[in-house]
């Protein structure tokens, strides 16, 4: 285990405030209350030192993020959600990866820029955002100019998000569910629908609608929504919320790639992929509501 000492004098008030939220930990809506600065872990299973699964250009993200050089992804192990169908369960649930110091994480961001990536894309950042913010400060001082992407499951605290204002250029949250019972059963977070809505409101307040330059995202909100079988995700309610309470031009990726993974076989309602018509009906509805539906 690496040293978890944090040199407060080196970093901004923002980074110090985020670090304080880990001891006791109230970074995310679970508010586990464990002292992560002392090496303890809560629901996410990660202490104050981030565990990174992989770093590199990713060409499978939305075209608005990929551009010509790929999205510079940093996949963080651990997660504050417990999705029973997670496609990256080896990273999120089994927490495979290696610990990186703040300095090493900053260097990883700079290397992504050297590779020619279009952005720095933090995948599943919520539980390690204190270290990420500190690393970003170091990287900016050393020449990092790329836009940053906060690629989250959508289970984020407004208190934490407010501290990120100015550090995040592109918010890319999931909006997984509109129904509390489904959220509790499939992700262990019955309060997810309300939490995610308040989080998305704060994200949009900070960065507004998605803006691009030559087809590549530079700032704004991009929502992902995974269509589940039998409308379990409450897709139409999610779209209504975005259209009516966020912006009539909200950018959304209606995702149709759900497949039964991890423990999904134990849940009869999600043992199959969604039918093509289930996916297309959601896409058509989003277009009819005026949203910017990505392809």
Q: 166-190: per-residue pLDDT in tens? A: 999 999 999 999 999 999 999 999 9
Cα distance between residue 292 and residue 43, in whole Å? 35
Residue 215 inside a domain? The answer is yes
Residue 165 inside a domain? The answer is yes
Number of domains in the chain: 1
Residue 56 in contact with residue 73, Cβ under 8 Å?
yes
Distances (CA, A) of 67 to 40, 61, 190, 216, 220: 40, 10, 37, 6, 16
DSSP letter string, 98-137 = EE--HHHHHHHHHHHHHTT-S-EEEES-GGGHHHHHHHHH
- CATH classification at residue 147: 3.20.20.70
62, two tokens: 């939305």
Q: List the domain range (segments joined by +) for residue 122.
A: 50-293
What is the per-residue pLDDT for 3?
Answer: 40
Residue 219 inside a domain? The answer is yes
Distances (CA, A) of 49 to 8, 84, 145: 15, 25, 24
Vertex 54 angle, CA 46 and 61, to 5°:
110
CA neighbor of 3 nearest in space, from 102, 136, 92: 102
Cα distance between residue 214 and residue 234, in whole Å? 34
In Å, how far from its chain's centre is CA 271?
A: 25
What is the per-residue pLDDT for 175?
Answer: 98
3-state DSSP call for residue 25? strand
Residue 89 inside a domain? The answer is yes
The predicted-structure confidence for 32-74, as pLDDT tens digits, reads as follows 999 998 889 999 999 999 999 999 999 999 999 999 999 999 9
DSSP letter string, 146-165 = S-EEEEE-S---HHHHHHTT
Residue 236 inside a domain? The answer is yes
What is the per-residue pLDDT for 1?
Answer: 38
Cα distance between residue 64 and residue 220, in whole Å? 11
Cis peptide bond prior to 293, omega within 30° of 0: no
Distances (CA, A) of 29 to 43, 61, 88: 11, 27, 22
Cα distance between residue 34 and residue 117, in whole Å? 36
Residue 15 inside a domain? The answer is no
| φ, ψ at 272 (rounded to 5°) | -120, 165
Tokens 């990256």, residue located = 88
DSSP letter string, 42-109 = -TT---SS-EEEEEEEESSS-HHHHTTT-EEEEEES--S---TT-TTHHHHTS--SEE--HHHHHHHH
Return per-residue pLDDT of the chain as tens, 295 residues.
344 556 767 899 999 999 999 999 999 999 999 999 888 999 999 999 999 999 999 999 999 999 999 999 999 999 999 999 999 999 999 999 999 999 999 999 999 999 999 999 999 999 999 999 999 999 999 999 999 999 999 999 999 999 999 999 999 999 999 999 999 999 999 999 999 999 999 999 999 999 999 999 999 999 999 999 999 999 999 999 999 999 999 999 999 999 999 999 999 999 999 999 999 999 999 999 999 999 8
142, two tokens: 């050393």
Residue 38 inside a domain? The answer is no
What is the per-residue pLDDT for 70?
Answer: 98
Cα distance between residue 155 and residue 125, in whole Å? 11
Residue 175 inside a domain? The answer is yes
| φ, ψ at 184 (rounded to 5°) | -70, -40
Residue 226 in contact with residue 258, Cβ under 8 Å?
yes
């Amino acid at each position: 285990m690496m040293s978890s000492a944090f040199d407060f004098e080196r970093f901004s008030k923002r980074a110090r405030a985020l670090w304080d939220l880990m001891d006791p930990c109230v970074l995310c809506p679970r508010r586990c209350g464990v002292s992560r600065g002392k090496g303890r872990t809560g629901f996410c299973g990660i202490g104050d030192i981030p565990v990174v699964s992989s770093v590199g250009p990713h060409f499978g993200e939305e075209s608005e993020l990929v551009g010509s050089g790929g999205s510079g992804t940093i996949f963080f192990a651990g997660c504050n959600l417990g999705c029973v169908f997670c496609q990256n369960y080896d990273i999120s649930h089994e927490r495979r990866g290696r610990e990186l110091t703040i300095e090493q994480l900053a260097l990883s961001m700079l290397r992504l820029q050297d590779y020619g990536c279009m952005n720095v894309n933090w995948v599943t950042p919520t539980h390690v955002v204190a270290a990420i913010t500190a690393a970003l400060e170091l990287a900016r001082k050393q020449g990092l100019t790329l836009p940053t992407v906060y690629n989250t499951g959508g289970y984020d605290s407004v208190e934490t998000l407010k501290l990120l204002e100015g550090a995040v250029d592109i918010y890319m949250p999931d909006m997984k569910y509109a129904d509390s019972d489904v959220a509790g059963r499939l992700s262990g977070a019955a309060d997810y629908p309300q939490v995610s809505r308040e989080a998305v409101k704060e994200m949009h307040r900070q960065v507004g609608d998605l803006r691009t330059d030559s087809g590549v995202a530079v700032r704004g909100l991009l929502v992902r929504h995974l269509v589940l079988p039998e409308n379990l995700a409450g897709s139409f309610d999610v779209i209504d919320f975005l259209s009516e309470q966020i912006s009539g031009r909200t950018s959304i990726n209606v995702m149709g790639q759900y497949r039964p993974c991890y423990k999904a076989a134990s849940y009869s309602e999600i043992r199959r992929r969604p039918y093509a018509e289930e996916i297309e009906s959601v896409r058509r509805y989003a277009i009819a509501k005026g949203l910017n539906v990505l392809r």
